[in-house]
Amino acid sequence: MIDLFSDILACRDNTLTRLDARVKLLVAAGGIGAVLFSRNPVLPLALLALAVLAALALRLPAGLLFRRMLSPLGIVLVLVALKSLMGGATPLVTIPVGPWHLTASREGAAEGLLIGLRVLGAAGVVVLLGAVTPAHRIFHALRWLGLPAAWVEIAVLMYRYTFVLLDQVEDVVQAQRVRLGYATPRRASRSVGALAGLVLLRAMDQSDRTYEAMCARLYRGSWPSAPLMPLARRDWACLLLSLGSLGALFMLLEGVAR
């Protein structure tokens, strides 16, 4: 779980990590916007393939890449199932469930697949961004782009204490295993419920202690942040070239699909 959130791989030296974080953030935002406004699955698939190939070319471990894409993949499967069952007129498949019959439609499945591919395309862009940009640089760039300071500070704290809670979860799970808490499915379900409740209580306790520590360090509602240097000409050229290529790809693939 810690590997899923860690940005240690983003600290390696390569072509993309050397780019300014603001450039990468704006290009990623443009890619996500293009995916969201696409009306066919070609563009989301293309951006997903480009993101995966770029991540593999940068030697991101394939297993880690798969685990990071696993959560959005589960969301996609749920979306496709729900949309296929909730709309459309052309029956695709009928599944008997006791006295009921669930009918999946062709139109609903197509619509759900399009939404799901949008999710995967956007997730691929975000995963690639996280693989080439350390978290603190992303937060600094978000502040430079004008995001409210309170939002950025909350995001920083969430990211920081994710690892603290994961360490606590690991300690609790190890203690439960020693006590045979996962020996049977019934005991495992009870252990997972107890684990969820304990993590919630520890998160609330950690928030109180963190706030007290921040007040002791003269926190008065905002953190001081150093201003970023203006973008260099090379960064502007890379930004304009990337956004222009993205726009051309959007118009080309959208036109071809029609």
H or E segment and range at residue 137: helix 135-144
What's the mean per-residue pLDDT of the chain?
A: 85
Chain segment 214-249, per-residue pLDDT in tens: 888 887 777 777 777 888 888 899 999 999 999 998
Q: What is the largest CA-CA distance in the chain?
A: 68
- Say what the pLDDT of residue 2 is: 56
Q: Which residue has the higher pLDDT, 201 or 220?
A: 201
What's the average model confidence in pLDDT over 29-45?
Answer: 91
Terminal C-alpha separation, the chain: 42
User: Residue 94 — φ and ψ, nearest 5°?
Assistant: -120, 130
What's the average model confidence in pLDDT over 60-70?
Answer: 85
Tell me the pTM: 0.81
